[in-house]
Amino acid sequence: MLLQIYSPQFAPWLIIEGQPSRAALDRFGTLRLEGSFQIDRLTATEHLIIVREMATLTFALVPESTALRLMARTPVRQIKRRLTRWLRRRYSQLFRA
């Protein structure tokens, strides 16, 4: 199962299956998709806690450090990071001229 990680303006980050629910948007406002990961990356304890919380609230709250660890080595995260660096360089080059 693929889970998505969203970040609100302030920690904690959210783990969601699919799109953010109305409850998540009402509670946290605008959410930004940070990346995704396969559910098998969770430890047994994390799996129990996160699945239970998602069943209750439609989302699970995790610290930013946990979210980043779960997304590490996923293609979406790596591409996004490279693209972000590339855009920053291109943007600065365009406005220097």
pLDDT at 53: 95
Decide if 77 is inside a domain.
Answer: no
Residue 57 belongs to domain spanning: 2-72
Q: For residue 80, is it within any domain?
A: no
Domain count, the chain: 1
Model pLDDT for residues 5-33, shown as the tens digit of each residue:
999 988 899 999 989 999 999 999 999 99
At residue 57, what is the residue type?
L
Position 89 scores a pLDDT of 57
**Residue-averaged pLDDT of the chain:** 82
* pLDDT over 50 at 78, yes or no: no
- Per the domain annotation, does 24 fall within a domain? yes
**Does residue 94 surpass a pLDDT of 70?**
no
Give domain status of residue 19, yes or no: yes
Distance CA 71, CA 85 (A): 18
| Strands 32-38 and 13-16, bridge-based pairing | unpaired
Higher pLDDT among residues 78 and 16, named by residue: 16
3-class SS of residue 26: helix
Whose structure tokens read 């779960």? 70
Here the tokens at position 83 are 């693209």
Residue 17 lies in a domain: yes
**What string of DSSP letters covers 30-75?**
S-EEEEEEEGGGS-HHHHHHHHHHHHHHSSEEE-HHHHHHHHTT-H
Per-residue model confidence as pLDDT tens digits over 40-71: 989 999 999 999 999 999 999 999 989 988 98
- Let me know: does 1 contact 50? Beta carbons within 8 Å: no
